[in-house]
Structure 1
Amino acid sequence: MSPELHAFQQRLALHAVERPQVSALWGDERRIDYASLLAEIDRRREWLRDVEARSLALALVDASNTLLWDLAALFEEIPCILLPPFFTPAQRRHCLEQSQVYTVLADPVHDDELAGAGYQRAGLFWFRERAQALLPPGTAKLTYTSGSTGTPKGVCLSAAGILGVTQALAAATQASGASHQMALLPLAVLLENVGCYAALWLGATVSLPSQQRLGLQGASNLNLPVLLATLAERRPDSLILVPQLLQVLVGAAEQGYLAPGWFRFLAVGGARVSTPLLQRALALGLPVHEGYGLSECASVVSLNRPGLQRPGSVGKPLPHVQVRLADDGEVLVSSHAMLGYLGEPSAVPVWWPTGDLGQFDEDGYLYLHGRKKNQFITSYGRNVNPEWIEAELTQGGVIAQAFVYGEAQPRNHALLWPLNPASADTQIQEAVERANQALPGYAQVHAWSRLDQPFTPDNGMLTSNGRPRRDAIIAHYQHLLTANPAAEDIAS
């Protein structure tokens, strides 16, 4: 067992002695205290040894059971893949085929998929003929990201890299005093997975309701009353959020449906958070801390911490990584977590090009300005990152989806879908004007069109994890985006 794994195991053993009755995992139907946690993990390790598993894929609804199997594979030093529930069957099959995973543990809903992929069931697991995947030596976790094309790409991560992030994240958040973290995102989302490890490192309770109990369906559908009821029942003091979930919680708190005082630490990442939304959250007393990370660095790279916070930034880099900027402003990260992309023989560069544009302030806080590849240049020669504008548009409580385009155009055009389909055009126009107030003239929305349907994976306009397929949107709506209406037609 590697030193990093041994240290993690020793932490859990220490918690078993010092806080045996504290709940380590709280699922839908059961709780497991720290006195029992290692025994539950060891029981699963023994099952993996019995079937001579060399790799493991998980597709389970029960999040507490998923985490136990994930930890068993980690300690057994078996590569593990958590298949995202928001992936399509075709994407899941791609993951299984590319990884050549031998052992699968899945819910019955996946039986036909697995049989069709050549697996056979034997007892608890599904197996197929052994095949050698080209996993780099030392791979502990294979995490898949759909990216902008929708084709899942496997990122191979080492245990040392993952646990380096775990320890850095635990140290950065410990001062908050949080003792109960609830996982809102699926565990297949690396940030949530590593966040659970960090909570266990600190001896906190990790609450793992099913996505059904959380009111979450697929990648983007939310039943707010169900979510609020579960939060009220369990009273977690720490959450990991994406901007859309932060907006939901801020709105609920403003209307009196959520008590901000429950929380000690709210981490938010995954996309840009607009300044007005942050201001609303902080005004309510919500302890929001923006962070930044990517799968290739085993998730978190930088984070605003208790006592070290600058709203609008993504915080200072954590000590397990080094961060610098390229001449064009691209964020470069030196990390030891990534071993390579699955199936791609190219070596991992010492300084990983993230594709994100950023800058540091004089105190070392990192500010991001969007994706390098998504940047467009207006006909006036201004460089504009559309994600900046889109964040301002969608986090004001009126607009659900926004897509902004201005390549070689004198004006920026937005495609908009409202949160409430019954919203009048005047409401949308007011929301655009409010967003424009926070933007310089060259980045403002000068014209917009109301969409007749939202962007979804089914119509090819979103990836499965909710990111816009920019090339597909531009191709489909080119007649609107390049119309160049006059300024007086802005409200059309």
Structure 2
Amino acid sequence: MHEFSVAPLVEVGDSETLTDAVYARSLSEPDTTVLAVRERDGWRDVGYGELAGTVLAVARGLLAEGVRAGDRVVVLGPTSLDWVVADLAVLSVGAVTVPVYPTASAEQVRAVLADAEPVACFADPNALPRLDDALGTELVWRLGESFAELASSGEAVCADEVGNRRARVRADDAATIVYTSGTTGEPKGCVLTHRNILAASGNVVALLPELFGWRGRQPTTLLFLPLAHVYGRVVLYGCLGAATRTGLVGNAADLVSELPAFRPTFLVGVPYVLEKIRKAVPDESAVPALLGGRLTHMICGGASLDASTLRFFTRAGLTVLGAYGLTETASTATMSAPTANLPGAAGRPVPGTTIAIGDDGEILVRGPQVSPGYWPDHGTGQEWVPTGDLGVLQDGYLRITGRRKEIIVTSGGKNVAPSLLEDRLRLHPLVANCMVVGEGRPYVSALVTVDPVALRNWAGTAEVDPADPRLLAEIATAVDEANALVSRAESIRRFRVVAGDFTVERGQLTPSLRLRRMVIEKDFAAEIEQLYAS
């Protein structure tokens, strides 16, 4: 087994918790801006003092309502100040946050509630009409709107009691249970401790002084990742601890329009977002102005970034840092740094982490950020976490080569990594998404969805028949470019443009926008059969 380790830059003490930074800085620097929220007339800054005061008031309310240490409390809603307050308040009383995506179906919510058995729920008011029956817990508070009510009931609780609760929380206590179903299967509740998240966020911040110590001034970023995803939470807690002015964006679709005015110094995202920016601004010379003129670095995690997209942003004067992780590693396993950035790689192990490649090529992770297990039968830690991903180590740099479970084996016995073809196909401006198929088939094919905005710009209308010869010819050029990356036996022989797009709401994508292949194969079974009909 080939492995590579990096020594820690930050070690978490046994009594450290995720709420420490906010409360400590509220005393030492109450007026320092830490969050920013979009209001009708612009961005409103929130200092450590205001944030801690609101959190303390809500935490007292939770105690008044009987929330105890170890209890689970659901937080369901988009990225917002209210989400952050609810999360910090839950953690302040020693309880455990159970995040749920606002796009979750009623069935998914019921499954989480049945497994986690929460005592209460904070829910986005906009989601309540759709999910009211599914929530069903006795205590359902409306995110933001119920804070005043909780603060009022909490007046009967001494403020020192929250401090007493916080003092009893230990680093190895559960902080959150993140439900992840991946691309198949029933949701599993991954337990992450205060230590897990602090080790992940603290070591990344220490690794990247170019981002978090921006030219001697306060760094700024826009957080548009969903806080129901651990990636967003780790970014949040890293920024809270590093006094980064963090603008909260509840809808990723609003990101591009907010960038010029907010003027972030760095961004953290996923390849899908960077590819959307590239499609929106085909001329790299226009990128700096679009991004606000101060942005120097972008962290890109979640999947491999195509080499041409990387070159595009490099020519625009930006440094793109690859990263890799999964829920079970608090979203951090490897990270590039400005001084150690190999194009196309996902970086080296985050400080404190060991990466290994098993005999079968699977990536294994060990470190203080590794989850102790799944709810409710979690233990005290795992030696190695199998990721399900395939990769290679080169001088300590990790390259992702595919997913074990996603490898397609054709009837001729050829192993095909679909993500390589899919990532290249998605670079075409007209391609919104795609999925390669061919398990047990004589050749590889693909389902392709079209971006309606790009289609309108290209054809003058979004109402184009999926079988239109001009459209098929244009998509064929993208297929040819993807096929140039692989052997003929691995290449896409046929494709089908399908109406609509793959969506989270229809269960075809995970909340982190990964393909749920089994669902898509079922939904488009007839179209797939036609690809092999002759």
TM range (shorter): 0.7 to 0.9
CA contact (8 A) 1:61 1:107 kept: yes
Length-normalised TM-score, structure 2: 0.78
Instruction: Report the Cα distance in structure 2 between the residues aligned to 1:244 and 1:66, rounded to whole angstroms.
Output: 24
CA contact (8 A) 1:330 1:358 kept: yes
1:336-368 CA deviation, whole Å, 9 max, x = no partner? 43122124578964211110000011x210000
Q: What residue in structure 1 maps to residue 118 of structure 2?
A: 101
CA contact (8 A) 2:425 2:434 kept: yes
Note the 1:139-150 alignment, pairs <5 A: 139-149=174-184
Note the 1:20-59 alignment, pairs <5 A: 20-29=30-39, 30-53=44-67, 54-59=71-76
Aligned-partner SS, 2:339 = coil
Q: CA deviation at 1:111?
A: 4.2
CA contact (8 A) 1:418 1:428 kept: no
Q: 2:280 aligns with which of 223, 229, 252?
A: 252
Note the 1:89-488 alignment, pairs <5 A: 89-111=106-128, 113-114=131-132, 117-121=135-139, 124=146, 138-149=173-184, 151-176=186-211, 177-178=213-214, 179-211=219-251, 216=252, 222=253, 226-255=254-283, 256=286, 259=289, 261-336=293-368, 337-343=370-376, 349-361=382-394, 363-419=395-451, 420=455, 422=464, 424-457=471-504, 461-475=508-522, 477=524, 481=528
1:105-131 CA deviation, whole Å, 9 max, x = no partner? 22334445345543235884899xxxx
Q: Counterpart of 2:415 in structure 1: which amino acid?
A: N
1:158-215 CA deviation, whole Å, 9 max, x = no partner? 111111111111112222344012111121111011101111211111111332xxxx
Instruction: Report the Cα distance in structure 1 between the residues aligned to 2:79 and 2:380, rounded to whole angstroms.
Output: 37
CA gap 1:380/1:201 in 2 versus in 1, 3 angstroms: same
Q: CA deviation at 1:290?
A: 1.4
CA contact (8 A) 1:272 1:388 kept: no
Aligned-partner SS, 2:318 = coil
Aligned-partner SS, 1:373 = helix
The RMSD of aligned alpha carbons is 3.0
Aligned-partner SS, 1:199 = helix
Q: CA deviation at 1:79?
A: 0.6
Length-normalised TM-score, structure 1: 0.85
Instruction: Report the Cα distance in structure 1 between the residues aligned to 2:506 and 2:76, rounded to whole angstroms.
Output: 25
CA contact (8 A) 2:402 2:417 kept: yes
CA contact (8 A) 1:417 1:454 kept: yes
Instruction: Report the Cα distance in structure 1 between the residues aligned to 2:513 and 2:20, rounded to whole angstroms.
Output: 38
1:384-422 CA deviation, whole Å, 9 max, x = no partner? 211121111112323111111233444321111222364
Q: What residue in structure 2 maps to residue 134 of structure 1?
A: none
CA contact (8 A) 2:109 2:134 kept: no
Q: What residue in structure 2 maps to residue 133 of structure 1?
A: none
Q: Counterpart of 1:404 in structure 2: which amino acid?
A: V
CA contact (8 A) 1:140 1:157 kept: yes
Aligned-partner SS, 1:424 = helix
Aligned-partner SS, 1:31 = strand
Instruction: Report the Cα distance in structure 1 between the residues aligned to 2:517 and 2:192, rounded to whole angstroms.
Output: 28
Note the 1:81-96 alignment, pairs <5 A: 81-96=98-113
Aligned-partner SS, 2:332 = strand
Aligned-partner SS, 2:482 = helix
Aligned-partner SS, 1:319 = coil
Aligned-partner SS, 2:199 = helix
CA contact (8 A) 1:334 1:352 kept: yes
1:7-33 CA deviation, whole Å, 9 max, x = no partner? 765544664566543311111344221
Q: Percent identity?
A: 27
Q: CA deviation at 1:373?
A: 0.6
Structure 1 window deviating more from structure 2 (242-251 vs 375-384): it is: 375-384
CA contact (8 A) 1:374 1:385 kept: yes
Q: Which has the higher contact order (CA 8 A, sep 6+)?
A: 2
CA gap 1:63/1:5 in 2 versus in 1, 3 angstroms: farther
